[in-house]
């Protein structure tokens, strides 16, 4: 008799699966299961309070900073910064994390490295692309 391939979540009878494991794919970075609100991300330019906070940034730069909307699940192992946090420290997400109403999460892979450095408070001219050539 061939061995049955085990798939996580299938150990429960079909009629009970959704009750026993309501969010079976939470934190998984595979497939397209579930909603993807991040595809409708706003920008720092669109969020008035964030626009005011980043007043030293040009409008074009603000338009290039994608901010995940509430409900967006963060990708496990990816790096983000919450611009709502006064310290603006970068962090590595766990698969169970999602953007809330009080978060302005910006994914590191959606901005260039010099802008990222500026967002997290780096002031070294070389890391911001402002170093003079000698």
Whether residue 26 is contained in a domain is answered as no
Secondary structure percentages of the chain, helix, strand, coil, to 5: 25, 10, 60
Whether residue 17 is contained in a domain is answered as no
Domain of 101 in residue numbering reads as: 36-123
pLDDT one-digit tens code per residue, 43-94: 999 999 999 999 999 999 999 999 999 988 999 999 999 999 999 899 999 9
Whether residue 48 is contained in a domain is answered as yes
Query: Among 17-31, 41-55, 88-102, 114-128, where is mean pLDDT lowest?
Result: 17-31
- Number of structural domains found in the chain: 1
Whether residue 31 is contained in a domain is answered as no
For residue 16, name the pLDDT band (cuts at 50, 70, 90). confident
Whether residue 1 is contained in a domain is answered as no
Whether residue 6 is contained in a domain is answered as no
Which pTM does this prediction carry?
0.69
Letter string b/e over residues 108-120, b meaning 16 or more CB atoms within 10 A of that residue's CB: eebbeeebbbbbb
SS3 107: strand
């Amino acid at each position: 008799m061939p061995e049955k391939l085990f798939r996580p979540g299938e150990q429960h009878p079909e009629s009970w699966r959704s009750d026993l494991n309501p969010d079976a794919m939470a934190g998984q970075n595979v497939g397209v299961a579930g909603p993807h609100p991040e595809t409708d991300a706003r920008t720092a330019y669109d969020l008035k309070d964030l626009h005011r906070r980043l007043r030293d940034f040009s409008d074009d730069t603000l338009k290039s900073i994608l901010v995940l909307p509430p409900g967006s699940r963060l990708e496990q192992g990816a790096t983000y910064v919450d611009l709502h946090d006064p310290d603006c420290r970068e962090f590595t997400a766990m698969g169970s994390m999602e953007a809330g109403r009080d978060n302005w999460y910006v994914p590191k892979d959606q901005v260039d490295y010099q802008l990222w450095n500026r967002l997290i408070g780096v002031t070294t001219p070389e890391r911001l692309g402002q170093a003079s050539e000698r």
